[in-house]
A and B are shown apart, each in its own frame.
Chain A
């Protein structure tokens, strides 16, 4: 069964304190892994797509990496505006799952000044 697990569930960081969020996945074959950011009461905002192990992508203070079993979202010198829930999702490599993403439960990040 396709499964996505994110850890930790919640993370509190002081401004400037770097850390990483983890997303581990179990799928029969991976077509793509996605990271989203979600603010309270809003829809998820697309951040990154990763296609294959070893791939890395960066955007401002965020860097996403991918291995065969997990992905990490590294946050360097976070600011309070980075506070949000970060969601990881996978797209399995099966025709029967086209258009369907499997989401983890997310990591709620709070960055305090």
Chain B
């Protein structure tokens, strides 16, 4: 079974620009969560989508947004990029059966803001 895929793998953007990252979950998984990973803060939760609905959101500004499509694929968007947005953005998918969420991560998108 194919794993979680993320595109693009690397991005270089300029301050003020916006960016869209894409995530395709494992087949059959309906939950997609996004995390930001930086050396200073570690892994921080951005948001989670299930059946096209955002169910949970972390403490990030409104510049960070996302959505999920009917095929469970998800995108996240960051507008008005800041230098501090440089990070590895990770997507994780989960079967979301019952109440336990074993999350399987993709390889991440490395975003560099200059």
Q: Indicate whether A and B interact.
A: yes
**B residues within 8 A CB of A43?**
4, 90, 92, 105-108
Query: How many A residues are at the interface, by size bracket?
Result: 20 to 34
- A10 on interface, CB distance cutoff 8 Å: no
Expressed in whole angstroms, the Cα–Cα distance for A98 and B103 within the complex equals 11
Residue of B49, B56, B105, B107 near A96 (CB, 8 A) is: B56
- Considering the complex, which residues of chain A in the window 33-50 have a beta carbon less than 8 Å from any beta carbon of chain B? 34, 36, 41-46, 49
- A97 on interface, CB distance cutoff 8 Å: yes
Please state if B56 and A106 are interface contacts (CB–CB under 8 Å).
no
Please state if A44 and B105 are interface contacts (CB–CB under 8 Å).
yes
Main SS of chain B's interface residues?
strand
- Considering the complex, which residues of chain A in the window 66-104 have a beta carbon less than 8 Å from any beta carbon of chain B? 87, 89, 91, 93, 96-104
Expressed in whole angstroms, the Cα–Cα distance for A91 and B99 within the complex equals 10
Closest to A106 in B: B42
Please state if B56 and A49 are interface contacts (CB–CB under 8 Å).
no
- Considering the complex, which residues of chain B in the window 64-114 have a beta carbon less than 8 Å from any beta carbon of chain A? 88, 90, 92, 94, 96, 99-108, 110
Please state if A100 and B45 are interface contacts (CB–CB under 8 Å).
yes
**Known interface pairs A43-B108, A44-B90, A87-B43. Does A51 touch B103 (Cβ–Cβ under 8 Å)?**
no
**B residues within 8 A CB of A99?**
31, 33, 48-50, 55-56, 94, 96, 101
User: Using a CB–CB distance below 8 Å, which chain A residues touch chain B?
Assistant: 31-32, 34, 36, 41-46, 49, 51, 87, 89, 91, 93, 96-106
> Could you pull out 23 A-B pairs where Cβ atoms are within 8 angstroms?
A32-B100, A32-B101, A41-B110, A43-B90, A43-B92, A43-B106, A43-B108, A44-B43, A44-B105, A46-B102, A46-B103, A46-B105, A49-B100, A87-B43, A91-B101, A98-B55, A98-B56, A98-B101, A99-B49, A99-B55, A100-B48, A102-B45, A105-B42
